[in-house]
Structure 1
Amino acid sequence: MTGQVDTSAFVERRARLAARMEPGAVAVLATAPELLRNGDSEYPYRHDSYFYYLTGYTEPESVLVLVAALGDAPARAILFCREKNVEREIWDGFRYGPEAARATFGFDEAYPIGELDAQMAGLLANAPALYYALGHSAALDAQVSGWLKAVRAKSRTGIAAPSTTHHLLGILDEMRLLKDAGEQALMGRAASIAAGAHARAMRFTRPGVFEYEIEAELLHEFRRHGAQFPAYTPIVASGANACVLHYNANNRPCLDGQLVLVDAGCELDGYASDITRTWPVNGRFSAPQRALYELVLQAQQAAFAAIVPGRPYSDVHTAAVNVLAGGMLELGLIDRTKYGTVEDAVLEKAHLPFYMHGTGHWLGMDVHDVGPYRDLTLPDRPSRPLLPGMALTVEPGIYVRPGEGVPEEFWNIGIRIEDDVIVSESGCRILSGDAPKSVADIETLMGER
């Protein structure tokens, strides 16, 4: 457990953060707490993403303190963590303890978590500013208040508390938005595992299986290839269930003639994948299903083409909506007598009954990853430009519920197609392309069952 760990990325990120802080300022970042599920059983533990981004450390009860350089004094990265406890390790498993954690993860200093309150007063004394996750945790807010009170109590001795407080997470959001080569490699591996799981689920699907049986195939494939968790609760939605965007009961039988929409991704070493595929339960698309499916696929291709460095993020959604609205007019989902052109239909939002969500989101350590979608530095807050290294999903869809004026052959059909991409220097790189997607590829794969 104390073998060689490549800490270079974490050390470099801490250095970048320290360089953005005021000289001599102090940053504090805690990991996630353990939570009880019921009785004395805890939820499976998952570290805080921000904390892991800067430390690579996954144990609970841990706090990072970063002191920015000041004059000749270099920056310092200090970890507070659980003490080594051989008796608790018999019950709960290995823990590093401060000394091994310092040596393994490249911290300058490390101390038992029980010393945090006592040491923070000294670390904050005469620091010009404090950076922490304002309002993120009531417990941390209370601790910070106590630390500052302790420092102010020494004001008569010439010691001053930080005069300003900064929100730390906004800075980290911008850092996390651009994925380095190591992050991209992990995300590619997570996407490859999830793509294989979708292919496995397609092969398994047939009339009469329950949605939860398909879910089990996905989870088996995730874990079999080393993923630690599903990145979110899988959606396995057959028939009309596919028209419920966040359906996850996964308890209905899949019937002959229906489609099944599967939205499922895994988490590998802290990074998420997020893939959606839609396929026929019996292995063959009907004509109405194929028409809508091909429309969504065309919309996704248009969205891919809009992913170019320098173009606004919003162009991705606009490209997909224009294709979808045009197809809805042709198929009679949108009344052409009311909306004569695609432009009219989009302007009046006539597509919203059938496509009501955005075309994607940032992806990374969190499945809906951090970072604003608008440039908050400009007065009108325009959509921010895409940059190489950004990671996002592209997921157009169409969801047709029964209704007056809606062609009956499309009723209760829900389709979404979602892939994970990285913005490259010339366009976009699709990470999840191994998951079968074309009508021909899906029908061929399912025909091999």
Structure 2
Amino acid sequence: MLPELLPRPAAIEPAEYLKRREALIAQLPQNAAMVVPGASLVTRSHDSEYAFRQQSDFYYLTGIQEPDGLLVLLPGREEGQSVVFCQDRDPTLEAWTGRRLGALGVERLHGIDQAYENAQRDELLPSLLEGRELLYVPLDNPEALSIAENALAHAQAGLRRGKPALKGWLDSRPLTHQMRLIKSPAEIALLRHAAAISAQAHVRAMRVCQPGLSEYQLQAELEHEFKWQGASGPAYSTIVGGGANACVLHYIENSDVLDADTLVLIDAGAEFDLYAGDITRTFPVSGRFSEAQRALYQVVLEAQERAIQAVAPGASLVDIHQRVVRDLTAGLISLGLLEGDVEARIDDESYRRFYLHSTSHWLGLDVHDVGTYRLDEQTPRPLVEGMVLTVEPGLYIPEDDELPAVYRGIGIRIEDNVVVTSAGHEVLTSGVPKQVAEIEQLMATK
């Protein structure tokens, strides 16, 4: 029987992208311009390219999925405040790689004020930026920096003719990333769908898991479900770590055989319309937890559940992480894996021997999505409605540790995706079980 298809959410409307551009333009001085390049194709081998993935800020502001785009925002420009340069229409190339939007398609389908093909870019871009005294560009983008340097040279050449000087450029990312931090209802719908696909894939992996399979075979089950459900594929490199491989946080080789006596950690999420799911589950390869595995798993699970309950407007990721550190440390002491007082072991950071990472990150168009975690060095950013984050505590006992053998080589992480609501929170990834009894029951039904 073929897997059930999940109902697809509506795509984000051009009107929402227009609203974002207008909100961004409203933050710019009238004498400024902003330039945001899209992504380009990257050669994989000879004449073959990697699958194209649009640059997230460019996509957030345009919804355009074609490579080699350039967005120019020009506050107060009478002919239109948003201009896009796009791929040239080329019947010969389009016969090989598919139809291109062209300037008319960009204007008609994406609500851009004016669009031009890239063949006109070198001629038109300097005149569009002429007279602008400030230029906002993403400072991590070489193409954007090259545009800024060319604009400066063009402005300096015009000084003798009375043209205004370009005073310099500023980083555009703080403005766009602050906007991206708060998700709209349409974005949350896409994140909910990416989470649902991801959850269904994790359930599928649990159902088929058995000793003797290879890690890459579970990876194949996960990624088949992603594609079957209409996702573009994984939102990041899929992690399937059996046994001690789970103690390597970014283990992606996925090449070992799964042993009956071990746990397997899967960290995998689907990308749908560029929005990411990000789920981690840890479960026994055999379908049944050992006593030691269950005890350690419960420490992580209870810390994760308490952390999720703390997600609400006004809380902060720092608060949530500190709560998790305290719960994990107390659990490690209760199991005899650490000794002494909880506060003492937190103060001397003994827990970091087993818990190496933070509890949460933002989630959205990027898996580790943009936005700062603090308002300044002393002030954690408070959560507000519309933020989306992960909650993912873990414990990792190295294989060569001196602890009792029953705990060695165990890595456990449990991760869910959570949206902040006015009333508290919504867990987007509840479709995949994490209670011990639920996991064992599911795995018993192959």
- Give the TM-score band, short-chain normalised: over 0.9
Per-residue Cα deviation, 1:142-184 (whole angstroms, up to 9, x for no partner): 2321222122212222112332422101111101001010000
> Within 5 Å, which residues of 2 pair with 1:213-362?
213-335=217-339, 339=340, 341-362=341-362
- Equivalent residue in structure 1 for 2:441, among 410, 428, 444: 444
> Within 5 Å, which residues of 2 pair with 1:408-419?
408-419=405-416
Moved more, 213-222 or 5-14: 5-14
Letter in structure 2 aligned against 1:35:
V
Alpha-carbon offset, residue 47 of structure 1: 0.7
Partner of 1:6 in structure 2?
13
Does the alignment pair 1:141 with 2:148? no
* CA distance in structure 2 between the aligned counterparts of 1:311 and 1:203, rounded to whole angstroms: 37
* CA distance in structure 2 between the aligned counterparts of 1:133 and 1:139, rounded to whole angstroms: 9
Letter in structure 2 aligned against 1:299:
A
Partner of 1:82 in structure 2?
87
Q: Verify the 8 A CA contact 1:374 1:383 in the aligned structure 2.
A: yes
* CA distance in structure 2 between the aligned counterparts of 1:143 and 1:373, rounded to whole angstroms: 30
Compared with structure 1, are the counterparts of its residues 404 and 49 closer, same or farther at alpha carbon in structure 2 (3 Å cutoff)?
A: closer
Partner of 1:99 in structure 2?
104
2:240 alignment partner, SS class: strand
- Equivalent residue in structure 2 for 1:191, among 188, 192, 195: 195
Letter in structure 2 aligned against 1:50:
D
Partner of 1:38 in structure 2?
45
Alpha-carbon offset, residue 5 of structure 1: 7.8
Letter in structure 1 aligned against 2:224:
H
1:190 alignment partner, SS class: helix
1:358 alignment partner, SS class: coil
Alpha-carbon offset, residue 74 of structure 1: 7.7
Compared with structure 1, are the counterparts of its residues 5 and 295 closer, same or farther at alpha carbon in structure 2 (3 Å cutoff)?
A: closer
Compared with structure 1, are the counterparts of its residues 345 and 250 closer, same or farther at alpha carbon in structure 2 (3 Å cutoff)?
A: same
Does the alignment pair 1:429 with 2:426? yes
* CA distance in structure 2 between the aligned counterparts of 1:36 and 1:403, rounded to whole angstroms: 41
* CA distance in structure 2 between the aligned counterparts of 1:332 and 1:94, rounded to whole angstroms: 64
- Count how many residue pairs are aligned between Structure 1 and Structure 2: 436
Partner of 2:67 in structure 1?
60
Letter in structure 1 aligned against 2:84:
L
Alpha-carbon offset, residue 24 of structure 1: 3.6
Partner of 1:16 in structure 2?
23
* CA distance in structure 1 between the aligned counterparts of 2:159 and 2:167, rounded to whole angstroms: 13
Compared with structure 1, are the counterparts of its residues 404 and 365 closer, same or farther at alpha carbon in structure 2 (3 Å cutoff)?
A: closer
Q: Verify the 8 A CA contact 1:242 1:413 in the aligned structure 2.
A: yes
Per-residue Cα deviation, 1:24-46 (whole angstroms, up to 9, x for no partner): 42111100121111212111111
* CA distance in structure 1 between the aligned counterparts of 2:207 and 2:43, rounded to whole angstroms: 38
* CA distance in structure 2 between the aligned counterparts of 1:286 and 1:313, rounded to whole angstroms: 33
Does the alignment pair 1:115 with 2:120? yes
Compared with structure 1, are the counterparts of its residues 404 and 422 closer, same or farther at alpha carbon in structure 2 (3 Å cutoff)?
A: closer
Give the structure-1-normalised TM-score.
0.94
Give the structure-2-normalised TM-score.
0.95
* CA distance in structure 1 between the aligned counterparts of 2:244 and 2:199, rounded to whole angstroms: 24
Letter in structure 2 aligned against 1:112:
E
2:352 alignment partner, SS class: coil
Partner of 1:383 in structure 2?
380
Unaligned runs of 5+ in 2: 1-10
* CA distance in structure 1 between the aligned counterparts of 2:399 and 2:258, rounded to whole angstroms: 19
Alpha-carbon offset, residue 255 of structure 1: 0.9
Compared with structure 1, are the counterparts of its residues 404 and 18 closer, same or farther at alpha carbon in structure 2 (3 Å cutoff)?
A: closer
Q: Verify the 8 A CA contact 2:183 2:388 in the aligned structure 1.
A: yes
Q: Verify the 8 A CA contact 1:399 1:412 in the aligned structure 2.
A: yes
Unaligned runs of 5+ in 1: none
* CA distance in structure 1 between the aligned counterparts of 2:230 and 2:261, rounded to whole angstroms: 35
Q: Verify the 8 A CA contact 2:35 2:144 in the aligned structure 1.
A: no
Letter in structure 2 aligned against 1:344:
A
Q: Verify the 8 A CA contact 1:102 1:109 in the aligned structure 2.
A: yes
Q: Verify the 8 A CA contact 1:332 1:407 in the aligned structure 2.
A: no
The Cα RMSD (Å) is 1.5
Percent of aligned pairs sharing the same letter: 42
* CA distance in structure 1 between the aligned counterparts of 2:206 and 2:379, rounded to whole angstroms: 41
